[in-house]
């Protein structure tokens, strides 16, 4: 393998939109700072990405940025959705490590370091150790949730997971700093299992432990939001780079480097955005619209869809709803076209929105969200308060932090009925409660935006990361 003084960083994300997006932002930032980058997707996601990315102009702008791909083990044509994510995890575990090893061996320029998703540790860490390449682990969750994952085995030992007596409102006791914050129902969704030897729970316990063999941890959060728990994580990782909100840091650095936003990739994603909703938003009054999106993975049943629909219509507020083609599942699903007909009066439906732009639009006054971490950070940065309906992964922890720690929204976890939706939308959009919530929402928006300006905490941490990667070069 050739060696040069230009650092070469290889990225390995988990194959999901919410993981690829922040890692791609970081990859572009490092590339702008002079690193050669190789971004490794699965074949399936690579094809999706390339189907609507102009690769020629991307490479004209960023000649030192390469895409590579490895198989995910599922047969072509099979859906990669939440319903078969266990199967995907199984096949990935079977094929990703040898494929990644082969890619590393055959690459002409030896990577200076690998930035691997914490949940891809099984594919990256052994191989990197064998080849003597440093690994930095990137956890796409926030610090609070990352800390919670480090206590999964303690939760099992303490008998708090699985939940034997079914009392979901009991406070958990064995996560330092979160004793008075998290209840059983606020634990990550992988804790909602019947047996302690559940294979998915055990996969996450293993991955969380394996990632500690990395030399440092990157988190898409900012110091001012989670300082106490970041310092607790220092007991596990001596080096932690908090560089979020990455989408905002990306915009801030791109502006500083005087790269126009249209010249930058500005969010390479797996799906093509439908921008028609921006014109609709232009016609709506200031802060009147509730934006509704459940991210890239969460599904709704027909019943849940109807409860949300009635709650939204009954609230009397205009709403913009992202209905992905695979959002609604089940035998008696709802045709998105049918939904569009019903909502025509007051709502607007798109299959995939330019979410960052939507949240920054002056007509948007609230966000009904699944509490994915990217969506939460994007909402915080835009100063938009939230109603949270968490479903999977870190979302239960995130929504608890939103409502109880940061006080920038409401948590409707484990309920889904039209009257709750209607009440919370009204409370969020125009009640005295909104005034209270807006005080902390505005303050965290200010802190988030300050952290990505020159001299801010995330901006400076990115500089440190760039410097540390340079010092790894031979």
**Candidate residues 269, 318, 385, 409; the one interacting with ligand UDX per rule CB under 6 A:** 269
Residue identified by tokens 């129902």 is: 185
Smallest separation (angstroms) from ligand UDX to the CB of 354: 6
Q: Which stretch binds ligand UDX (CB under 6 A): 5-13, 17-25, 69-77, 107-115?
A: 17-25
Comparing CA positions, the residue from 253, 223, 257, 263 lying closest to residue 240 is 223
Burial class (CB in 10 A: 0-12, 13-18, 19+), 21: buried
The answer to whether 390 contacts ligand UDX (rule: CB under 6 A) is no
Task: Verify whether residue 117 is a known catalytic residue.
Answer: yes
Q: Considering the rule CB under 6 A, would residue 291 count as an interface residue with ligand UDX? A: no
> Which of 289, 403, 298 is CA-nearest to residue 347?
289
| CB contact at 8 A, 242 and 219 | yes
Q: CA–CA separation, 101 vs 104, rounded Å?
A: 5
Lookup: tokens for 97: 């490590």
- Give CA angle at 112 (210, 103), nearest 5°: 70
Q: In the beta sheet, which residues pair with residue 39? A: 11, 67
User: Least distance (Å) from ligand UDX to the CB of residue 131?
Assistant: 28
322 lies in the binding site for ligand UDX (CB under 6 A): yes
Size of the site for ligand UDX (CB under 6 A): 25
The nearer residue to ligand UDX, 156 or 327, going by C-beta atoms, is 327
Stretch that binds ligand UDX, among 232-240, 254-262, 372-380, 435-443 (CB under 6 A): 372-380
Choices 24-32, 165-173, 371-379, 446-454; region in contact with ligand UDX by CB under 6 A: 371-379
Enter the tokens of residue 471.
């010092």
Q: Does 347 bind ligand UDX (CB under 6 A)?
A: no
Contact 295/18 with Cβ under 8 angstroms? Answer: yes
Q: Is 52 a catalytic residue?
A: no
Stretch that binds ligand UDX, among 24-32, 53-61, 367-375, 440-448 (CB under 6 A): 367-375
Helix (H) / strand (E) element for 387: namely strand 386-388
Is 317 a binder of ligand UDX (CB under 6 A)? Answer: no
**Whole-angstrom Cα distance, residue 182 to residue 171?**
6
For ligand UDX, give the closer residue by CB, 38 or 374.
Answer: 374
The kind and range of the H/E element at 144 are helix 143-149
Active-site choice (8, 44, 117, 198): 117
Residues 6+ apart with CB under 8 A from 203: 89, 93
113 binds ligand UDX (CB under 6 A): no
Q: Note the residues at the interface with ligand UDX (CB under 6 A).
A: 16-19, 21, 140-141, 269, 293, 295-297, 322, 352-353, 355-356, 372-375, 378, 393-395
Residues recognised as catalytic:
19, 117
């Amino acid at each position: 393998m050739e060696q040069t003084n230009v650092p070469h960083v290889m990225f390995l994300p988990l194959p999901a939109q919410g993981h690829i997006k922040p890692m791609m932002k970081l990859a572009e930032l490092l590339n702008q700072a002079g690193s050669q980058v190789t971004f490794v997707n699965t074949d399936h996601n690579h094809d999706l990405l390339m189907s609507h990315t102009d690769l020629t102009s991307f490479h004209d702008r960023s000649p030192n940025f390469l895409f590579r791909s490895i198989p995910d083990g599922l047969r072509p044509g099979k859906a990669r959705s939440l319903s078969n994510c266990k199967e995907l995890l199984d096949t990935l575990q079977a094929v990703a490590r040898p494929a990644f090893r082969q890619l590393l061996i055959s690459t002409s320029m030896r990577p200076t370091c690998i930035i691997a998703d914490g949940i891809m540790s099984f594919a990256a860490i052994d191989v990197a150790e064998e080849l003597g390449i440093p690994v930095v682990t990137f956890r796409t969750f926030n610090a609070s949730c990352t800390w919670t994952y480090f206590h999964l085995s303690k939760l099992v030992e303490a008998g708090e997971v699985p939940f034997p007596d079914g009392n979901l409102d009991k406070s958990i006791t064995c996560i330092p700093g979160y004793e008075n914050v998290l209840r059983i129902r606020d634990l990550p969704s992988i804790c909602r299992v019947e047996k302690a030897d559940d294979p998915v729970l055990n996969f996450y316990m293993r991955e969380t432990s394996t990632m500690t063999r990395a030399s440092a941890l990157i988190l898409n959060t900012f110091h001012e939001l989670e300082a106490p728990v970041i310092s607790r994580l220092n007991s596990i990782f001596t080096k932690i780079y908090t560089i979020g909100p990455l989408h905002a840091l990306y915009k801030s650095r791109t502006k500083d480097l005087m790269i126009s936003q249209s010249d930058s990739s500005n969010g390479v994603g797996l799906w093509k955005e439908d921008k028609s909703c921006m014109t609709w938003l232009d016609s709506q009054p200031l802060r009147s619209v509730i934006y509704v999106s459940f991210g890239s993975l969460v599904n709704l049943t027909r019943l849940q869809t109807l409860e949300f629909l009635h709650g939204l219509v009954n609230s009397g507020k205009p709403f913009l709803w992202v209905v992905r083609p695979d959002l609604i599942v089940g035998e008696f699903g709802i045709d998105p076209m049918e939904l569009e007909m019903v909502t025509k009066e007051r709502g607007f439906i798109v299959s995939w929105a330019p979410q960052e732009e939507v949240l920054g639009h002056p007509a948007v006054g609230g966000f009904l969200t699944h509490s994915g971490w990217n969506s939460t950070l994007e909402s915080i940065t835009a100063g938009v308060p939230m109603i949270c309906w968490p479903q999977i992964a870190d979302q239960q922890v995130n929504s608890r932090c939103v409502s109880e720690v940061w006080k920038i929204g409401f948590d409707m976890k484990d309920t889904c009925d039209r009257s709750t939706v209607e009440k919370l939308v009204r409370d969020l959009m125009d009640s005295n409660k909104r005034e209270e919530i807006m005080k902390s929402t505005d303050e965290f928006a200010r802190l988030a935006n300050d952290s990505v300006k020159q001299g801010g905490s995330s901006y400076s941490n990115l500089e440190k990361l760039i410097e540390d990667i340079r010092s790894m070069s031979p």
